[in-house]
Structure 1
Amino acid sequence: MSSHDHPVPGHLPPNPPRPRGPGHHHPSHAGQDGAAIDWEVLGPHLERGAEIQTPLYEQAAAWLRQLLGPDAPDGSDGGPVPVRRILDVGSGPGVVSCLLARAFPDAEVCAVDATEALLDRARARAERLGLADRIHTHCAEVPHGLDPLGGADLIWSSKALHHVGDQRGAVAALAGHLRPGGLLAVCEGGLAPRFLPRDIGIGRPGLQARLDAAAEDWFADMRAALPDATDALEDWPAFLANAGLRTPCTRSFLLDLPAPLADDARHYIQANLGRATEEYGDQLDPEDVSTLTRLTDPHDPAGITRRPDAFLLSAQTVHTARALEP
């Protein structure tokens, strides 16, 4: 599960943004500035980020089980659906693929990603967890590389579709792979993570709000540069309805890791702050850049790895809808 793919503190997802060619959701080996990206080296960071967010993803998986099971909420149609096949589109290193396999023990899970090095990690993870017989991988780009995949009872895609220029078309492409009564779940949106108080005792108060603003500008530029980018209202339930799906449901899930943070979460935030400085440090004033330098310094008492007030609070939103029964 996933990809959001922003290497920025305003968005703390499993995968960072990936450059694209025509019709690609996150191909290959260069960043926005053309610099090479070694996904094999970056893979452990992406996997750690997804592991940190496991409580949130477990909540989402339990909700999907409810939507597809006999206790579906009022308004769902078609009753329970036996989930035999799941596609995790934009799977990254496969953390959520494995969570979905455990949540739906009768299902085969296909982890789909455009980066083979990350699929290597997904296969290794499935092997370690004793799930290798039920988790398979497919290297493909969204939406045009999905045709060989066939149908599925549940399709999950997290933070990948906003890297496709035509998001509406990408949703329709995924919906086309649903079996009758199947569920499409798109994880997009939510709330930018918070991890420090407004006044952290160094630099000018309100750093996180300024980082969020810079991240939004970065994201808008990224979207505008995508091939076939459409200037459409980002209404994910409407995209699902336009794809011919029914009974839309939306729910947000909270990740609440209070202070004092565990070391793995601290190091993850530290790495994201470092990448934020690289991506858009030139949009920040010198005082904020100096503050980020201190926050990412492992030896500075004010650094993120040593602060007693560091926390992680975020929310991810999941939009779902179902294919028509025959």
Structure 2
Amino acid sequence: MNAPKDPAQHHDLSGRAPAPAPAPAPAHRHGDAHTHGHTHGHAHHAVADDLDWELLAGHLEASGELHVPAHRAAAARLSELLGGGREVRRVLDIGSGPGVMTCVLAEAFPEAEVVAVDGTPALLDRALARAGRLGLSGRVGVHHARLPEGLADGALGAADLVWSSEAVHHLGDQQGALDALARVLRPGGMLAVAESGLPMRFLPRDLGFGRPGLQARLDALQEDRYQAMRAGLPGSVPVAEDWPAMLRRAGLTGVGAFTTLLDLPAPLGEPGRDFLHSRLTRLRDASDGSLDALDLETLDRLLDPAAAEGLRRRPDVFLLSAATVFAGKRPVL
């Protein structure tokens, strides 16, 4: 598997011209995201929605492991932006899920206590087990909290870095959540949220059967589901999802963004195919009549493990995913 390409900077945290991207760390493997311009399959397990995060634990961890190269690139960039001279003593991973990124952050900040914050105890158990396997038990802890209630002032303790990947958009008041997370920061500390990107791609547009453009139609289905999810959240507040502006309204300065890319070319290895098979199965099961008969037949052929044209056996399966991280710092008074 190839390591991710260098993160692409939109701008840095100082307003100056972008600095060169850090070289990505050696490739291991990481987690996924959804698809309304996000990349789901990830980590909103601290939030109060109707998904069974414990049931999704295996899928979430597999996704996280596939994305480890991109996670490491993001962590390296955050370390650079925080500045080599700054002591990072405590890091929070909000909506941590099974703790894949939690452990990446612990490796990137070797002097820090890193805390996985999540609302599903079974996922926190996985985070602790993962930390143990990686020899990080002494520095990785867990904190059980449901969001947004768990963001009450003082509940999380102070931190030098707060990371959250695709959890904030599962909260009714996204601006209120960012405001609360910003208050957790010590002066000079950084809040970084991964809340955008591009839809995941893994198949050619024309599969050789069915109607071309299946993934685009699945994206549209996900977009509709995302909008319905947002509308149904308790205390849902409509807001333009201009994440840099939202971070500035939370009182942060030097707001910037960068994008990491996971690029696993065809033929994709078995772990990636396992993850994509799980992902497509969930999309097929949740289609709720939104796909026509031809698209459902196409999905069934893709999911057939014995079919030469299926996801398990076809040689042209790849995985391409981009995630954008927005970050800003609490002013030093």
What is the TM-score normalised by the length of structure 2? 0.86
Residues 83-122 of structure 1 aligned to structure 2 (within 5 Å)? 83-122=88-127
Secondary structure of residue in 1 paired with 2:313: coil
- Tell me by how many angstroms 1:197 deviates: 0.6
- Tell me by how many angstroms 1:50 deviates: 0.3
- Tell me by how many angstroms 1:281 deviates: 4.7
Question: In the alignment, is residue 200 of structure 1 matched against residue 214 of structure 2?
Answer: no
- Tell me by how many angstroms 1:5 deviates: 6.3
> Measured at CA, do residues 142 and 285 of structure 1 come closer, stay the same or move farther in structure 2, by a change above 3 Å?
same
Give me the whole-angstrom Cα distance separating, in 2, the residues matched to 1:165 and 1:40: 22
Q: Is the 8 A contact 1:12 1:49 kept in 2?
A: no
Q: Is the 8 A contact 2:44 2:96 kept in 1?
A: no
Give me the whole-angstrom Cα distance separating, in 2, the residues matched to 1:58 and 1:142: 26
- Tell me by how many angstroms 1:27 deviates: 3.6
1:51-87 CA distances to partner (integer Å, 9 max, x unpaired)?
00111111100100100114xxxxxxxxx42101000
Give me the whole-angstrom Cα distance separating, in 1, the residues matched to 2:117 and 2:286: 27
Q: Which residue of 2 aligns with 1:220?
A: 227
Segments ≥4 residues shifted beyond 6 Å: 2-5
Give me the whole-angstrom Cα distance separating, in 2, the residues matched to 1:40 and 1:276: 18
- Tell me by how many angstroms 1:282 deviates: 1.3
Give me the whole-angstrom Cα distance separating, in 2, the residues matched to 1:9 and 1:199: 21
Structure 1 gaps of 5+ residues are 19-24, 32-36, 71-79
> Measured at CA, do residues 100 and 267 of structure 1 come closer, stay the same or move farther in structure 2, by a change above 3 Å?
same
Q: Report the RMSD for the aligned CA atoms in angstroms.
A: 1.9
1:273-303 CA distances to partner (integer Å, 9 max, x unpaired)?
0101122251111100110111111111111
- Tell me by how many angstroms 1:221 deviates: 0.6
Residue type at the aligned position of 1:286: A
- Tell me by how many angstroms 1:193 deviates: 0.7
Q: Which residue of 2 aligns with 1:295?
A: 302
> Measured at CA, do residues 289 and 9 of structure 1 come closer, stay the same or move farther in structure 2, by a change above 3 Å?
farther
Q: Which residue of 2 aligns with 1:52?
A: 66
Q: Is the 8 A contact 1:178 1:323 kept in 2?
A: yes
Q: Which residue of 2 aligns with 1:62?
A: 76
Secondary structure of residue in 1 paired with 2:150: coil
Identity rate, percent:
52
Secondary structure of residue in 1 paired with 2:262: strand
Q: Is the 8 A contact 1:110 1:136 kept in 2?
A: yes
Question: In the alignment, is residue 124 of structure 1 matched against residue 151 of structure 2?
Answer: no
What is the TM-score normalised by the length of structure 1? 0.88
Give me the whole-angstrom Cα distance separating, in 1, the residues matched to 2:36 and 2:185: 34
> Measured at CA, do residues 257 and 202 of structure 1 come closer, stay the same or move farther in structure 2, by a change above 3 Å?
same
Q: Which residue of 2 aligns with 1:172?
A: 179
Q: Is the 8 A contact 2:31 2:42 kept in 1?
A: yes
Residue type at the aligned position of 1:26: V
Q: Which residue of 1 aligns with 2:236?
A: 229
Residue type at the aligned position of 2:74: A
Secondary structure of residue in 2 paired with 1:284: coil
Q: Is the 8 A contact 2:64 2:100 kept in 1?
A: yes
